């Protein structure tokens, strides 16, 4: 299984009064990492609009292990765990760039494929074909 | 000139690592106050979509006088300063609910009327008619 | 078990380019509902600071059932499922105010009690005492 | 006068239901550009905390010329217009990376130097010294 690495900087806008990243904002980082990956495969938002193929989040589980601090350099390590007929399961870890053993949080995200009316649809073959090299389990 | 009062609570999501509301987020409060006002007049998003009349921000000036803190109760005092042919000028103050003399910030916001393709269009008569009682200067 | 109801309005700032509330932002709504509840019990941020008792999110699971739209009126229904020695388990549902059967998303949030140095500490008796009437399972 | 260029990607979290970047969020981009610049000079948050020197926004003016869209690559061009005794005036333009003539918005930001109690203080000589090469007008 191939891991995709996405680097990012913690900005002031991500933090809260407790001095750390506000807990929902870690999901933003996970989203960016998935988006950039999909985009790099040629399946970005332009492609999605052209083919009436959209992605929506069905569920998210996130374990918070350690807070991230303003202006830290982090990276998201993303794995595609499963390709189902109409959804994808991602596992994503956020860690310090300088100390990759320091895991900040771990998430499992289920992404469903939907059409223009928000109804589920099967993943197009092009999507399955481009993603399957990254994944152990096929639909 | 009639002032419209909009109350709000500072949520954790609005704050930053410095322990105060993050500076761009004060514009969110101003936006909510204008939106609720317009909505209460029957000119909300449903009406806007039905009539292909949309509003966009052309400019914002904001003076920050005092920081707002997590879980404070605030209120936005909104005035409609000018109605032009295709735009509106609002003046808005954010203050403490419990001590209305304590002004947190003051903003001047220029809102333009646009069509579905983001092009400027004249304010519909219905909008001008409903808003003019709140304003000294008419188009 | 007692449910606590927290009403809210979807603001423009909560939405994304897909026209619905951006998925991490539903956690903001859950957080606001918990914060206001705790605050109403006299255990708000001032009390927390005075007693060096802080709360942090250990894990969140969220199932997204239906998207929320701009300017909808929603409400969070919050239950306290478990009181452990140093943590609390909340279950929270977000639903339409006008059609309470319409569940938008469901979350399970684990909140841990920490000290000023982010280390776990036992829930103070005052917290357990004030929250236990809302919960079936005690520590 | 030297311009500092800061590149960025529009993320989904930055957009709103209208399909464009939500208007307060452009100020986030400006803030990131200033923060990274200051940080690169060795005056970042660690230095600020060590020396009890903090920066806060006194005022912001922003003219919105053209909306930015999800996943566009943009860049902020930042100029330091004035160094006063206790404040800095920045001018910042946001533009498309691929078509630098396409200006999305222009901002003027006044940043004040404050101490640990949020009171104004003079800019330390180190700050003035490091920033003056970028600026025409000295205090």
- Predicted confidence at residue A125, as pLDDT, reads 97
pLDDT band of residue B77 (cuts 50, 70, 90) is very high
**What phi and psi, each to the nearest 5 degrees, are found at residue A126?**
-60, -40
CA dihedral of residues A104, C107, C122, C51 (deg, nearest 10): 90
* Predicted structure pTM score: 0.97
Domain ranges for chain B, please list them: 4-134
- Predicted confidence at residue D1, as pLDDT, reads 72
Q: Contacts of residue C64 in chain A, CB cutoff 8 Å?
A: 56-60
CB contact under 8 A, B13 and A15: no
CA dihedral of residues B87, B91, B96, B100 (deg, nearest 10): -140
Q: Which CATH superfamily is domain C4-134 in?
A: Hotdog Thioesterase (3.10.129.10)
* Per-residue pLDDT tens digits for B89-131: 999 999 999 999 999 999 999 999 999 998 999 999 999 999 9
- Predicted confidence at residue A1, as pLDDT, reads 72
What gap in Å lies between CA C23 and CA C62, rounded to an integer?
10
Is the ipTM, as predicted for this complex, more than 0.90? yes
**What phi and psi, each to the nearest 5 degrees, are found at residue D39?**
-65, -40
- Predicted confidence at residue D139, as pLDDT, reads 57
DSSP structural state of residue C124: P
- The residue assigned the tokens 């949520």 is B11
C125's torsion region: left (phi>0), alpha (psi -120 to 50) or beta?
alpha
CB contact under 8 A, D23 and B60: yes
What are the helix (H) ranges across chain C?
A: 25-40, 45-50, 125-131
Q: Contacts of residue B39 in chain C, CB cutoff 8 Å?
A: 71
What gap in Å lies between CA B57 and CA B64, rounded to an integer?
19
- Which one of B18, B57, B67 has the shortest CB-CB distance to D64? B57
Q: Contacts of residue B57 in chain D, CB cutoff 8 Å?
A: 23, 64
How far CA C62 is from CA of A63, B13, C23, C110, in Å, comes to 12, 18, 10, 12
What gap in Å lies between CA B50 and CA B35, rounded to an integer?
17
What gap in Å lies between CA B34 and CA B49, rounded to an integer?
17
> Does residue C116 belong to the interface with chain A, where contact is any CB pair within 8 Å?
no
What gap in Å lies between CA B134 and CA B128, rounded to an integer?
10
CB B66 within 8 A of CB D112: no
CB contact under 8 A, D17 and C13: no
Chain mean pLDDT for chain C:
96
CB B84 within 8 A of CB B120: no
Pairing of strands C73-83, A73-83: unpaired
**C16 in catalytic set:** yes
- Which one of A15, A24, A69 has the shortest CB-CB distance to B16? A15
Distance from CA of A2 to the nearest CA of C (A): 25
Q: Hey, what are D58's tokens?
A: 């006194």
Q: Contacts of residue D63 in chain B, CB cutoff 8 Å?
A: 58-59
CB contact under 8 A, D63 and B67: no
- Predicted confidence at residue C137, as pLDDT, reads 62
Best interface-test mutation with D: which of A42, A71, A76 has the largest number of D CBs within 10 A? Answer: A71
A59's torsion region: left (phi>0), alpha (psi -120 to 50) or beta?
beta
Give the residue on A whose Cα is nearest the Cα of C58: A64
Best interface-test mutation with C: which of D17, D28, D69 has the largest number of C CBs within 10 A? Answer: D17
What are the helix (H) ranges across chain B?
A: 25-40, 45-50, 125-131
- Residue B38: closest CA among B126, B136, B122: B126
Residue bearing the bigger pLDDT, D139 or C47: C47
Asked if the model's pLDDT at residue A26 lies above 80, the reply is yes
- The residue assigned the tokens 């639903």 is C95
Q: Contacts of residue B9 in chain C, CB cutoff 8 Å?
A: 32, 36
- Predicted confidence at residue C1, as pLDDT, reads 72
Q: Which residue ranges in chain D fall short of pLDDT 50?
A: none
- Contacts A–B by Cβ distance under 8 A: 31
Q: In A, residues 14-53, which contact D (CB 8 Å cutoff)? A: 28, 31-32, 35-36, 39, 44-45
Neighbours of B (≥3 Cβ pairs closer than 8 A)? A, C, D
CB contact under 8 A, D27 and B24: yes
Distance from CA of A13 to the nearest CA of B (A): 6
CB C101 within 8 A of CB C60: no
> Does residue A63 belong to the interface with chain B, where contact is any CB pair within 8 Å?
no
Q: What is the largest CA-CA distance in chain B?
A: 46
Give the residue on B whose Cα is nearest the Cα of C69: B45
As a whole-number percent, the residues of chain B with pLDDT over 70 amount to 97
Mean pLDDT to the nearest integer, C11-25: 97
Q: Which residues touch B75 (CB under 8 Å, ≥6 apart)? A: B5, B6, B7, B8, B94, B95, B97, B100
- Predicted confidence at residue C61, as pLDDT, reads 98
Task: Find the angle CA(A15)-CA(A17)-CA(A23) to the nearest 5 degrees.
Answer: 50
CB A103 within 8 A of CB A64: no
pLDDT band of residue B137 (cuts 50, 70, 90) is low
What gap in Å lies between CA B42 and CA B57, rounded to an integer?
20
What gap in Å lies between CA A34 and CA A96, rounded to an integer?
18
> Does residue D12 belong to the interface with chain C, where contact is any CB pair within 8 Å?
yes
Kindly provide the b/e burial profile for residues D123-137, where b requires at least 16 CB atoms within 10 angstroms of the residue's own CB.
beeebbeebeebbee
CB contact under 8 A, C13 and B31: yes
* Per-residue pLDDT tens digits for B43-71: 999 999 999 999 999 999 999 999 999 99
What gap in Å lies between CA D81 and CA A52, rounded to an integer?
47
Q: Hey, what are B50's tokens?
A: 């039905």
Distance from CA of A26 to the nearest CA of B (A): 13
């Amino acid at each position: 299984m191939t891991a995709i690495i996405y680097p990012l900087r913690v900005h002031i806008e991500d933090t809260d009064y407790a001095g750390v990243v506000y807990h929902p904002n870690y999901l933003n980082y996970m989203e960016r990492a998935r988006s950039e990956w999909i985009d790099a495969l040629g399946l970005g938002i332009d492609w999605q609009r052209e083919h009436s193929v959209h992605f929506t989040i069905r569920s998210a589980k996130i374990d918070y292990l350690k807070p991230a601090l303003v202006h830290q350099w982090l990276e998201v390590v993303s794995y595609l765990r499963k390709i189902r007929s109409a959804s994808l399961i991602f596992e994503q870890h956020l860690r310090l760039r300088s100390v990759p053993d320091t895991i900040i949080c771990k998430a499992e995200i289920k992404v469903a494929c939907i059409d223009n009316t928000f109804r589920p649809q099967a993943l197009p073959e092009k999507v399955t074909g481009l993603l399957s090299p990254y994944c152990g389990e096929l639909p």
